[in-house]
Amino acid sequence: MVQVEYKNVTKTYEDGFEAVKELNLDIKDGEFLVLLGPSGCGKSTTLRMLAGLEEVTDGDILIDGLKVNHLPSGARGLGMVFQSYALYPHMTISDNLSFGLRMSKGEEKLSTEEINKRVIEAAEMLDLSDHLDKKPKELSGGQRQRVALGRALVRQPKVLLMDEPLSNLDAELRHQMRNEIRRLHDELGTTTIYVTHDQIEAMTLADRVAILDKGILQQHTSPLDAYNNPANEFVRTFLCRHIDDLVETANNLFNDTK
């Protein structure tokens, strides 16, 4: 089942700049899709249109077969995690995790019991159980980023959107969190769209990768297939040569230390 579809989606900003051009892309139920490309290629714009934070200029975006172009962001059933995770500094971790749920109104409103249950579950999943009564400033960067992830997960979103969520962390933590994110995905099976400009991150996380350049989709396939069969010169340089260079550097280091 296809869960998210971009059909001929174009985004033209007010100044006339075309950031995304006639994008056709499908994300299957339970899939982990990575949007990959250099800075300015339109990754965030693509994600933000799905999130309802940017208007679609042309074309349609569908979630579960339903056109959402004009649906308010909050009604789309999405969870979002961004690079700057802006936790509420004066609230405890527990309150940060539950805030969105407590603010829900109408049909969305959950009982206090259900909210508490979800917070406890998320905290266990993300190894935050011992920190629930603390304030954000008492946590490390990695722990704070896990709170941001937990805040999205407690909503039990249909689709989880992440825009460079790890770029504020150091290399070691980024590696650790990357594994966490993939493990969580395998456990929960939530359809996920993850934005990064980091080729290795894309290769290690994605079921399929959508590679963008200058607002145009270049290739949409498994990471290994993109590496083995790059669709064009751009993918060959941006993905394959970059990875080959990394491997060569690692080999040289290894040989030097032998």
Ligand X SMILES: Nc1ncnc2c1ncn2[C@@H]1O[C@H](COP(=O)(O)OP(=O)(O)OP(=O)(O)O)[C@@H](O)[C@H]1O
**Total interface residues for Mg ion by CB under 5 A:** 1
CB of 144 vs ligand X, minimal distance in Å: 20
Binders of ligand X among residues 33 to 52 (CB under 6 A) are 37, 39-45
Q: Which one, 39 or 111, has the nearer CB to ligand X?
A: 39
Residue 16 touches ligand X, criterion: CB under 6 A: no
Q: Which one, 15 or 172, has the nearer CB to ligand X?
A: 15
Residue 96 touches Mg ion, criterion: CB under 5 A: no
Q: Which one, 136 or 213, has the nearer CB to Mg ion?
A: 213
Residue 28 sits at φ, ψ, to 5 deg, of -80, 160
Q: Which one, 6 or 227, has the nearer CB to Mg ion?
A: 6
Residue 183 CB burial class (10 angstroms; 0-12, 13-18, ≥19)? exposed
**Total interface residues for ligand X by CB under 6 A:** 13
Residue 196 touches Mg ion, criterion: CB under 5 A: no
Name the binder of 39 from ligand X, Mg ion, none, CB < 5-8 A by kind. ligand X
Q: Which one, 215 or 230, has the nearer CB to ligand X?
A: 215
Binders of ligand X among residues 117 to 176 (CB under 6 A) are none
Q: What is the pattern of x (binds Mg ion, CB under 5 A) and - over residues 34-63?
A: ----------x-------------------
Binders of ligand X among residues 104 to 123 (CB under 6 A) are none
Name the binder of 52 from Mg ion, ligand X, none, CB < 5-8 A by kind. none
SS (H, E, C) the chain: CEEEEEEEEEEECCCCCEEEEEEEEEEECCCEEEEECCCCCCHHHHHHHHHCCCCCCEEEEEECCEECCCCCHHHCCEEEEECCCCCCCCCCHHHHHHHHHHHCCHHHCCCHHHHHHHHHHHHHHCCCHHHCCCCHHHCCHHHHHHHHHHHHHCCCCCEEEEECCCCCCCHHHHHHHHHHHHHHHHHHCCEEEEEECCHHHHHHHCCEEEEEECCEEEEEECHHHHHHCCCCHHHHHHHHHHHHHHHHHHHHHHHHHC
Site for Mg ion, rule CB under 5 A? 44
Site for ligand X, rule CB under 6 A? 13, 15, 17, 19, 37, 39-45, 197
